[in-house]
Amino acid sequence: MNATDPAAAPLPAPQPRTDDRTLLVKVFGKDCPGITAGLFATLAEFGVDVIDIEQVVTRGRITLCALVTPPAGAGAEGGLRVTVHRWAEEQKLQAEIISGTGDNRPRREGRSHVTVLGHPLTAAAVAALAGRVSEAGGNIDRVFRLAKYPVTAVELAVSGLPTEQLRAELAPEASALGVDIAVVAAGLHRRAKRLVVMDVDSTLIQDEVIELFAAHAGCEAKVAEVTAAAMAGELDFAESLRARVALLAGLDAGVVEKVRAEVRLTPGARTLIRTLKRLGYQVAIVSGGFTQVTDHLVEQLGLDFAAANTLEVADGRFTGRVTGEIVDRAGKARWLARFAEQAGVPLAQTVAIGDGANDLDMLNAAGLGVAFNAKPVVREAAHTAVNVPFLDTVLYLLGITRDEVEAADESDGTPGE
| Residue 231's pLDDT band (cuts 50, 70, 90) | confident
End-to-end CA distance of the chain: 57
pLDDT at 1 over 50: no
- Residue 228: the pLDDT is 83
Q: Is the pLDDT of residue 359 over 90?
A: yes
Q: Is the pLDDT of residue 202 over 60?
A: yes
3-state secondary structure the chain: CCCCCHHHCCCCCCCCCCCCEEEEEEEEEECCCCHHHHHHHHHHCCCCCEEEEEEEEECCEEEEEEEECCCCCCCHHHHHHHHHHHHHHHCCCEEEEEEEECCCCCCCCCEEEEEEEECCCCHHHHHHHHHHHHHCCCEEEEEEEEECCCCEEEEEEEECCCHHHHHHHHHHHHHHHCCEEEEEECCHHHHCCCEEEECCECCCECCCHHHHHHHHHCCHHHHHHHHHHHHCCCCCHHHHHHHHHHCCCCCECCHHHHHHHHCCECCCHHHHHHHHHHCCCEEEEEEEEEHHHHHHHHHHHCCCEEEEEEEEEECCEEEEEEECCCCCHHHHHHHHHHHHHHHCCCHHHEEEEECCHHHHHHHHHCCEEEEECCCHHHHHHCCEEECCCCHHHHHHHCCCCHHHHHHHHHHCCCCCC
User: Out of 26-35, 104-113, 331-340, 369-378, which region has the weakest mean confidence (pLDDT)?
Assistant: 104-113
- Greatest mean pLDDT range, 150-154, 161-165, 256-260: 256-260
Q: Is the dihedral of CA 98, 100, 103, 107 positive or negative?
A: negative
CB 327 within 8 A of CB 309: yes
- What are 269-307's pLDDT values in tens digits? 999 999 999 999 999 999 999 999 999 999 999 999 999
Of the candidates 352, 331, 339, the one whose C-alpha atom is nearest the C-alpha of residue 237 is 331
For residue 285, report the phi and psi dihedrals to the nearest 5 degrees. Answer: -125, 145
Give the number of other Cβ atoms within 10 Å of residue 315's Cβ. 6
Distance CA 133, CA 107 (A): 15
- The predicted pLDDT at position 291 comes to 98
pLDDT band of 175, cuts 50, 70, 90: confident
What pLDDT is recorded for position 56? 92
The pLDDT, as a whole number, for residue 8 is: 53
- Asked whether the predicted pLDDT for residue 5 surpasses 60, the reply is no
Residue 48 CA from chain centroid, whole number: 39
For residues 308 and 335, is the Cβ–Cβ distance under 8 A? no
In this prediction, residue 293 carries a pLDDT of 98
The pLDDT of residue 9: 54
Q: Quote the CA–CA distance of 270 and 324 in Å, as a whole number.
A: 30
Model pLDDT, residue 19: 72
The rounded mean pLDDT for the chain is 91
Between residues 233 and 349, the one the model is more confident about: 349
Dmax over CA atoms of the chain, in Å, equals 97
The pTM assigned to this predicted structure is 0.82
Q: Which residues contact 377 (CB under 8 A, 6 or more apart)?
A: 232, 233, 357, 360
| Dist CA 180 CA 220 (whole Å) | 33
Q: How confident is the model over 119-128, as pLDDT tens digits?
A: 999 999 999 9
Q: List the catalytic residues.
A: 199, 201
CA distance 360 to 233: 10
Under a CB-based contact definition with an 8 Å cutoff, are residues 362 and 354 in contact? yes
Cα distance between residue 224 and residue 43, in whole Å:
69
Exposed, middle or buried by CB within 10 Å (0-12, 13-18, 19+), for 188? exposed
Packed helices 237-246 and 209-217: angle between N→C axes, nearest 10 degrees: 30
Q: What percent of the chain has pLDDT over 70?
A: 93
How would residue 185 be classed by pLDDT, with cut points 50, 70 and 90? Answer: confident
Edge-to-edge order in the sheet of strand 305-314: 317-323, 305-314, 282-290, 195-198, 350-354, 368-372, 384-386
Task: Return the bridge partners of 352, or none.
Answer: 197, 369
Query: Residue 296 class from Cβ within 10 Å (0-12 exposed, 13-18 middle, 19+ buried)?
Result: middle
